[in-house]
Amino acid sequence: MLKCRLPDINATTRLCAVLGSPIAHSASPAMQNAAFQALGLNWCYVAFEVEPKNLRAAIEGARALNIAGFNLTVPHKLLAVDMMDTLDESAKMFGAVNTIKFERKNGMIQIAGFNTDADAISVSLRDDLGMKLRGAKVLLLGAGGAGRTAALKLASEKVAELYLVNRTVSKAEEIANEIKERFPSVTVATKYPEGKIDLVLNATSLGLKPSDPSPLDEKQFPLDRARAVYDMIYRPPRTRLLASAKKAGCKTANGLGMLLHQGAKAFKIWTGRNPPVKVMRSALEHNIYGH
Ligand code: ATR
């Protein structure tokens, strides 16, 4: 049984937090506190329920309090971009911020925005599915915030063919047009693929509730035509899509690895220390699978 003890909180404890709405389901506090503890850091990570209308006040308040850093989750990642003093290359490229570092510079506290989600997508696909993205054929479900980041990241990794399917077709078309402009070597279409492909990637929110239908129309794309299926959802750990993929003989993974790697990179940004990735993975597994 893995236990996470708080540090002896005192006047020098540094604070990090995740901001979102809803936030009560977040596994990030378990993961980050385990990492602080493993490295003997006097740091602490909590979660705040923050509505979009209060995001700017929360970030400015954190600047005044000299908080160490934030993670942002739904629905804040796009909204926060305009609230940063600086943006790293990834935040600029993907137009979204999921990690904030408050840094003291010349007596002032600067707010630096980062995107650690995009890299986490390719690291997790590689580590958890053995996926080589360059030259791959991918069906991506979803064209919201997560879908857009995934589509652009896959295109930047030079996948050969990208099929974008979304309930609201115009949103998939918008992303397809952006990819055609920014990554002209990628063949992109807003429909289900005809033949065999390497990967189906779910970036919709369908599957979060047990009553949700699968995000994939298996009449249009039977799963035995895919080598691997990744679901960005990690709670529940086995969605309807993943269960069906397993039955069809596909290699499968849920979004735990993505959550892990975005968090590991954020940890490095805040603390400057190498993240204890194994400890962080165990803490997440304990939080999500309960063992
Ligand atoms: P996130 O930041 O997690 O991507 P989002 O931007 O709200 O959240 O995107 C949610 C995604 O799930 C979208 O692709 C959405 O489809 P629409 O663009 O048509 O809204 C998809 N989604 C959510 N509920 C859905 C449903 N009931 N059926 C099909 N797709 C759904």
Domain locations along the chain: 14-115+259-289, 118-254
pLDDT for 245: 98
Check whether domain 14-115+259-289 has CATH 3.40.50.510, yes or no:
no
pLDDT in tens, 235-274: 999 999 999 999 999 999 999 999 999 999 999 999 999 9
Q: Which atom of ligand 1 is nearest to the CA of 167?
A: 19
- Cα first-last separation, the chain: 7
The band of 1, judged by pLDDT with boundaries at 50, 70 and 90, is: very low
Q: Which atom of ligand 1 is nearest to the CA of 75?
A: 2
Q: Is the pLDDT of residue 168 over 70?
A: yes
Class of the domain covering 118-254 = alpha beta
Strand partners, 100: 70, 113
Could you tell me how many residues make up the chain? Answer: 291
Nearest CA to ligand 1 atom 18: 168
- With contact defined as beta carbons under 8 Å apart, do 5 and 286 qualify? no
Q: Is the pLDDT of residue 5 over 70?
A: no
pLDDT in tens, 83-106: 999 999 999 999 999 999 999 999
User: In the numeric block, which tokens belong to residue 13?
Assistant: 């404890």
Residue (of 214, 99, 95, 188) closest to 146 by Cα position? 95
Q: How far is the CA of 145 from the centre of ligand 1 (A)?
A: 9
Separation CA 47–CA 63 (nearest Å): 17
- With contact defined as beta carbons under 8 Å apart, do 208 and 216 qualify? no
Say whether 118-254 and 14-115+259-289 share the same fold.
Answer: yes
Separation CA 108–CA 124 (nearest Å): 37
